[in-house]
Structure 1
Amino acid sequence: MDYKKPFQHTVIVSHDDLDDLNHVNNIRYLKWIEDIARAHWKQIASEEIYNSYYWIVRQHLVDYKASAHLHDEVIITTKFLNCNGARAKSIIEMHNNSTGKLLLQAETVWCLMAVQTKRPTRVTEEIDKILV
């Protein structure tokens, strides 16, 4: 199945986001990846699904393309690519809003966990439907 429903969020780079070279710290980019994933899940999941399942990261593959700097507006977009068993893969892109320049592209593999058992669980048909 081809997953095409993107979710978008915007951040403004602050002093707290910067490293010693005065551009966004790599760890901050990872936090933004997790933040957008959490916001995306919260928006698309029903209350029952949200309270029954959560995602954990299995793998991040991050390709840093360009730097973001203080006061830059960064548009973060994510969408699911596919699901297989308990896993789902998403793609995340970050662009500088004023220049359109691609700052980062990442693929993340997530594992669906059941709240009750705290164990991996297959992506249900209902969850599969909300990801598209």
Structure 2
Amino acid sequence: MQIFEKNITVSKEDLDDLNHVNNVRYVQWVQDIAKEHWLTYATKDILETYSWFLVNHFIEYKSEALLGDQLHLKTYVPSVEGVTTTRHVEIFNTKTNRLVVQSKAKWCLIDSKTQRPTRIISEIAELFD
């Protein structure tokens, strides 16, 4: 299973009225790393032929993140079944190694021309191995 990772620093724009990272920002980061992972490994032909539709999303907030915190994001896709994948995202505080957020999302592969669900071909499944 391939793990895609990146680090970010919490900025003032990420904060809510309580000076913690806003929950909407976490959701954006989850979406951003999923997209970045996909765009990093998918070929031009795959990108022109397929896209993803979010079926459902679960996010759990485990601890807070504050201005200046260094965060480590990692994502992986442990399962590919038919037309869907389940993607996990975990966000850790790099200083404390404490889990801040964990997320699971179910994504459906869509044929870009028909806008209909399509079976995940082996070439795509292998991008996540």
TM-score (norm 1): 0.94
Partner in structure 2 of residue 30 of structure 1: 27
1:54 aligns with 2:51: yes
Alignment-derived partner of residue 71 in structure 2: 74
The 4+ residue runs of structure 1 with deviation greater than 2 A are none
The alignment yields a C-alpha RMSD, in angstroms, of: 0.8
Q: How big is the shift at 1:107?
A: 0.7
In the TM superposition, what whole-angstrom CA distance separates every residue of 1:75-123 from its partner, at most 9, and x where no partner exists?
Answer: 1000001011111001110000111111011111111111111111110
Instruction: Kindly provide the amino acid, as one letter, of the partner of residue 96 in structure 2.
Output: T
Q: Tell me by how many angstroms 1:33 deviates.
A: 0.5
Give, as a single letter, the amino acid of the residue that structure 1 aligns with 2:79: N
Aligned to 1:117: 114
User: Alpha-carbon deviation of 1:10?
Assistant: 1.4
State the number of aligned residues.
129
Query: Which residue number in structure 2 is paired with residue 99 of structure 1?
Result: 96
Per-residue deviation at 1:129?
1.3
> Which residue in 1 is equivalent to 2:123?
126
After TM superposition, the score normalised by the length of structure 2 is: 0.96
1:24 Cα deviation (Å)?
0.5
Which one-letter code corresponds to 1:82 in the other structure? S
